[in-house]
Structure 1
Amino acid sequence: MASHFLVLGILVATCSVSLASDPSPLQDFCVADTNGPVLVNGLACKDPKLAQASDFSFSGLHLPGNTSNPVGSKVTPVTVAQIPGLNTLGISMARIDFAPWGINPPHTHPRATEILTVIEGTLEVGFVTSNQPGNSLITKTLQMGDVFVFPKGLVHFQRNAGNGDAVAIVALSSQNPGVITVANAVFGSKPAIADDLLARSFRTDTKTIDWIQSKF
């Protein structure tokens, strides 16, 4: 009887592990069917026999982004929305252009770790650890060719630390990493978060919060 329970336990454990996740795709590729009626965690696949080169390519990453905006930066994403063939492959990338002293404001990617390479200029980059380690700021000034990693889900930022333009290329460990810009989420939500709640959270007054919210 004991041996029967042991075998049953091994089977249960094996099934639990095997059903926990698929570490890699179960087919050569899964080109996203953006018009498909099926809703899944990701995008449904179109018939692989209909796949073509355009499903796996993107043009224009050599072109500078327009940094004429309040933050002085422009992100050009290359995710599954731009390359349907990225579906299920767990990767994406982006180009980030910075005007002199432009910033990519504090933000998070809820589904991806990011690795950044400076292609041109000088960037000040950093991320903040979670509450338990004490919200430590890890920061570094990068030159052309330097690489920096931002762990998944942590608040991070970049700033052009020079008088000329700067360019970075980033890779992310998700076909659709998502982005939550902290200021936009906190002060620009629709409907707005109650100003008295934010005032208490930021240790200020509702008048200051109302003024900040008006900017978003």
Structure 2
Amino acid sequence: MVVALAAAACAPKRVREEPILRNGERVPEPDAAVEAVRQEAGARRAAMAARRGELVADALATCTGAICDALARGEVTLEMTEAQVLAATGTTDEAWQIRRNGRIAVMVPRSLLAAPRDAVGELAMVQLRDGAVASYAYREAQGLRVVRRPSDATTAGRANALAEMLVREGDDLVARGDLDAALDRYDRAQVLQPDNVELEYRIA
């Protein structure tokens, strides 16, 4: 009896698996599956394009003066509404995380891998107060450049902001003892601010 039980335990077991296909069933055509995915993606793109078109139409219908000019250039500017920011960046609200707290709303990219951009550069943040843009920030190589006043958005304002970031980076490098890298930052800042006496002192 023991021998019989041992033999039964060592015998191969048969597992009854459900068939992948039953009688009469056919393997789906791969071309049909690919076509279905393609059509679904196309429908999503069409819906997004239609939504962006609506946003642009609404933004242009409610803009005036400098804001209309900025929309035509594809640039974010101060005093824009949330819808006008979306139109200027060619995005929908799906591209942003929008945090609201009373009179303040802050828009930040939903993904840094596909951050919204306008004609100037990649946007890191847009802050609205009472429904209008109060400040916004671009992600530059040296850090964040914040626009709080109309002068900050001009060519001269951008040059000054970049120069200040380069100087701060140079000062940090000096503190770490990397004088060659610091001098490189100061030289680049001086190109942007040739009349900056403090820069000349640092370079000397």
TM-score, normalised with respect to structure 1: 0.22
Kindly name which structure, 1 or 2, has the bigger radius of gyration based on alpha carbons.
2
Relative to its length, the structure with more helix (as a share) is: 2
Bigger relative contact order (CA 8 A; separation at least 6): 1
TM-score, normalised with respect to structure 2: 0.23
